[in-house]
Every structure is written in structure tokens, then in C-alpha cells.
């Protein structure tokens, strides 16, 4: 019976002892927080383990790239307003020009210049463009009056001036070619129908023979250049040559046209009557003559 009464007393004292121990533990933790945090000596519950930090989510660039076309065009318009973009407003945010413009804008804000926008950046970009002042294009203070249209007379003068300058450049070569021809023609006449002039210009040789058979003598021979320029085979010359012939007391003036390509000997040499203009022009066309004379 005595043992039973002792056990009953201990049971009744257990809550009081536990309360006293808890109060002592509180006092100890108040005086030494580090001891409680480490769970040492007091039998307190261990501190909870630290929670690992979660990695930041990857930036969302897909939403803006797949946004409706008007929204994508709005972004390009905002970039243009901010002087970052001058390409077409076509909604293509992955074009080289648009991505460069976005990168320039991001670089100016000290953010990663990736050339693509998150939804937050798109809102910020449009807001920044909306706040940009409207630039006025001032008209020029002085307007340059358009020059008056040239009249036909002015055009003719300009054409004549250009022709004169072109002929001035070609004149020394053309004159030299014509004078060389005259020397050969005079030598042929003086040699009584022998020489390179007759060999190169068969029609002239026949003309000379016909006049000689008619009893005519030959006097002055004078050239006038008809045309000169570059042809397919070289420099081409056409010259009008007037011959003075006499038969007794009668004097005759006869005219022949000579055409040739410069060379030694002359190439594609032809002789025409001065009246046969069509044949002479046909020869020029065949030679692909680019005139520097007319």
C-alpha cells in the first residue's frame, strides 16, 4: 500500500516537474539564444533546415514574338519614334534591322542587349515612345527656285556647242587623214594613172581613166571632210573631193566621195558619186561608224 501511495504521488507531481523544466528552458534560451538554436544542452527541438533558393525563370521572349501583328508593328513604330529603327513597318520582329534596333534600345537602358523583348520590356518601350516629344519638320528658310525649262533654241545651242567641242577634238586626225588621201590622189594623177590611190579606190581609177580617154586634163584637187569617227575596224573617214578638169577651153568641176578605214594600206576603201548619198550612208552603217564630226 505504501508503494502505491508513492507512485500516485509521483504521477501527481509529473505535470508540475514538466512545467518547471519548461520554465527553466525558456529562461536558458532567453539568456543564450545560440544554445537553443543549435539544440544543445537543453533538449529543445532542432532548428528547421534552410530552404534552397529557386532558380529565376528564363525570360519570356516567345509571347512578344507571337503577339498579334498590330502589336508587333506597334513595337517597330515605337523604335522608329525613338530613332532606333528606320526599316519597314511589317511586324517582323526577327528581321536583322528590328533586332538591332531592340538591342540598341536595351543597351541604352543598361539591360542585356539580346534583340528580343519580354512582355514587360514591350510595355516599357511603347510607353517611352509615347512620352517622346513630337518633332516638327520645319520648312527650309529659303527655297531654291527650279530652273526654267530650256527652250528649243537653248537646246539647239547646247547641241551645237557639244558638236563643236567634239569636232575640235577629232579635227587634227581627220585633217591628217584627208590630206594623206589628197597626196595619193595627186601622185596618181601625176603618174598618169599609177599608184596606191588607184589600187585602193577602184572606182576612182575607172573615173580617172574615163576622163583621160575623153581628153581631159586634171587641175586643182580640194578635199572637204564629210565625217570622221570610230568604226568597228578602226578610225573611219569620209571626204568629199572636188576635181577641176579641163577639155580645151572648157573647165569642169567634178565631185567624188571617198570613204575608208585608216591603215596602211587603207581598208574597206570605197568611192561614190557625190549625189549617191544613200550608198555612202549605207557604207557608214556597215562599218558601225560612231561619228565625232556631226
CATH number of the domain that residue 70 is part of: 1.10.101
Average pLDDT, stretch 123-147? Answer: 73
Average pLDDT, stretch 276-291? Answer: 94
Residue numbers of the domain that contains 110: 62-130
Tell me which range, 2-6, 54-58, 125-129, 158-162, is most confidently predicted by mean pLDDT. Answer: 125-129
CATH number of the domain that residue 167 is part of: 3.10.450
- At 23-72, the pLDDT tens digits run 555 556 555 655 555 544 445 556 566 666 677 788 998 999 899 999 99
In a domain, 122, yes or no: yes
Residue 227 has pLDDT above 70, yes or no: yes
Owner of C-alpha cell 567641242: 165
Q: Nearest-CA neighbor of 237 among 220, 209, 260, 253?
A: 260
- As a whole number of angstroms, the distance between CA 78 and CA 59 comes to 21
In a domain, 126, yes or no: yes
CA 237 to chain centre: 42
Average pLDDT, stretch 201-213? Answer: 95
Residues 207 and 95 in one domain: no
Residues 195 and 236 in one domain: yes
- At 68-97, the pLDDT tens digits run 999 999 999 999 998 989 989 999 999 999
Q: Which three cell numbers stand for residue 147?
A: 530652273
In a domain, 178, yes or no: yes
Task: Tell me which DSSP letter residue 143 carries.
Answer: P
Contact at 8 Å (CB) between 237 and 269? no
- At 140-198, the pLDDT tens digits run 566 566 677 778 888 878 877 888 888 889 899 999 999 999 999 999 999 999 999 99
* Residue 271 β-bridge partners: 258
Counted domains in the chain:
2
pLDDT score for 23:
52
Contact at 8 Å (CB) between 64 and 36? no
In a domain, 269, yes or no: yes
Amino acid at each position: 500500500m505504501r508503494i502505491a501511495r508513492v507512485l500516485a504521488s509521483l504521477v501527481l507531481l509529473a505535470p508540475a516537474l514538466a512545467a518547471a523544466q519548461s520554465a527553466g528552458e525558456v529562461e536558458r534560451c532567453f539568456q543564450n539564444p545560440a544554445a537553443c538554436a543549435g539544440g544543445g544542452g537543453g533538449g529543445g527541438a532542432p532548428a528547421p533546415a534552410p530552404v534552397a533558393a529557386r532558380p529565376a525563370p528564363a525570360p519570356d521572349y516567345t509571347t512578344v514574338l507571337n503577339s498579334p501583328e498590330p502589336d508587333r508593328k506597334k513595337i517597330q513604330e515605337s523604335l522608329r519614334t525613338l530613332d532606333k529603327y528606320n526599316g519597314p513597318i511589317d511586324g517582323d520582329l526577327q528581321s536583322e534591322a528590328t533586332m538591332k534596333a531592340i538591342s540598341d534600345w536595351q543597351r541604352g537602358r543598361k539591360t542585356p542587349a539580346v534583340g528580343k523583348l519580354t512582355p514587360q520590356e514591350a510595355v516599357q518601350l511603347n510607353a517611352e515612345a509615347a512620352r517622346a516629344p513630337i518633332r516638327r519638320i520645319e520648312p527650309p528658310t529659303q527655297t531654291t527656285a527650279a530652273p526654267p525649262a530650256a527652250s528649243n533654241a537653248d537646246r539647239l545651242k547646247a547641241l551645237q556647242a557639244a558638236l563643236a567641242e567634239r569636232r575640235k577634238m577629232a579635227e587634227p586626225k581627220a585633217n591628217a587623214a584627208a590630206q594623206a588621201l589628197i597626196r595619193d590622189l595627186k601622185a596618181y594623177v601625176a603618174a598618169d594613172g599609177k599608184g596606191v590611190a588607184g589600187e585602193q579606190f577602184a572606182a576612182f581609177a575607172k573615173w580617172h581613166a574615163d576622163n583621160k580617154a575623153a581628153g581631159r586634163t586634171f587641175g586643182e584637187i580640194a578635199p572637204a571632210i564629210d565625217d570622221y569617227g570610230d568604226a568597228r575596224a578602226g578610225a573611219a573617214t569620209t571626204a568629199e573631193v572636188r576635181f577641176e578638169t579641163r577639155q580645151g577651153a572648157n573647165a569642169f568641176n567634178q565631185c567624188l566621195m571617198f570613204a575608208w578605214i585608216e591603215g596602211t594600206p587603207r581598208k574597206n576603201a570605197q568611192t561614190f558619186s557625190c549625189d549617191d548619198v544613200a550608198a555612202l550612208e549605207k557604207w557608214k552603217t556597215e562599218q558601225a561608224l560612231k561619228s565625232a564630226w556631226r
